[in-house]
């Protein structure tokens, strides 16, 4: 996972998706052509639900999740949702066949074949143990004019489900996430990228903090409350 995880209010990264669309003018038995679609094409000026699944045609995704969103389309429309998008790190040929097999009428599929979008929103995960390669974490988000305002992210390998709503706080595995009291931070160590602590991002000296170790070869610093 190389990208920065998407946050509420962040503008989604601009990515070009290579899609295949039906065009009868092409002729022949397979009248499809390539059409480039951008993030803005999908999200600008709309209130949409975006959900991403690990892989097309996989059992859980095909049996429960994708059909569940398809069935909930009318209810979501009543709540002001303009479109429902299903994304996966699969190419357009695979995504189109999955949509056909699922008889989708309401959910539209977005092929993130190279994982470019998924990586940029911090949702790319290696599934080499299953022979999948790079795939997406399972997540869903409400996106308004290209900015997420609510999201649920499920990381089964970590046994964690994270939920966040703009103005409504966040929860991890159903428990509210709150800031720790100062007493819990006494003598605590913080491991972070050295660049985040260097001036001019943060002024020196650090009142109440002292550096106890630093590893420039790995671009890491550890600072401790003193």
CA distances from 109 to 56, 91, 99, 172, 201 (A): 10, 10, 7, 28, 41
Domain-by-domain residue ranges, the chain? 16-176, 182-225
DSSP secondary structure letters along 182-194? GGGGTT-EEEEEH
pLDDT in tens, 102-157: 999 999 999 999 999 999 999 998 888 888 889 998 999 999 999 999 888 887 76
pLDDT digits (tens, 9 = 90+) for 57-102: 999 899 999 999 999 999 999 999 999 999 999 999 999 999 999 9
CATH architecture designation of domain 16-176: 3-Layer(aba) Sandwich (3.40)
- In the structure, how many helices (H) and strands (E) does the chain have? 7, 15
Q: Whole-structure pTM over 0.85, yes or no?
A: no
Show which residues are catalytic: 61
Residues 57, 117: Cα–Cα separation, whole Å: 21
Looking at residue 192, its pLDDT comes to 56
- Min mean pLDDT across 119-128, 155-164, 181-190, 192-201 is at 192-201
């Amino acid at each position: 996972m190389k990208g920065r995880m998407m946050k509420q209010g962040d503008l989604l990264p601009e990515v070009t998706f290579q899609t295949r669309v039906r065009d009868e003018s092409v002729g022949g038995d397979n009248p499809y052509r390539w059409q480039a679609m951008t993030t803005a094409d999908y999200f600008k000026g709309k209130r949409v639900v975006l959900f991403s699944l690990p892989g097309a045609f996989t059992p859980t995704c095909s049996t429960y999740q994708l059909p569940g969103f398809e069935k909930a389309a009318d209810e979501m429309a009543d709540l002001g949702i303009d479109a429902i998008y299903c994304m996966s790190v699969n190419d357009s040929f695979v995504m189109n066949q999955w949509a056909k097999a699922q008889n989708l009428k309401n959910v539209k599929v977005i092929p993130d074949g190279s994982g470019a979008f998924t990586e940029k929103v911090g949702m790319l995960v290696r599934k080499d143990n299953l022979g999948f390669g790079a795939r997406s974490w399972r997540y869903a988000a409400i996106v308004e004019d290209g900015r997420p305002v609510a999201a649920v992210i499920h990381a089964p390998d970590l046994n964690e489900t994270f939920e966040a709503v703009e103005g409504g706080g966040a929860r991890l595995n159903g428990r509210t996430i709150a800031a720790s009291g100062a007493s819990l931070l006494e003598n605590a160590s913080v491991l972070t990228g050295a660049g985040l602590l260097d001036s001019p991002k943060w002024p020196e000296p650090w009142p109440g903090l002292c550096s106890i170790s630093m590893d420039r070869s790995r671009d890491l610093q550890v600072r401790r409350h003193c």
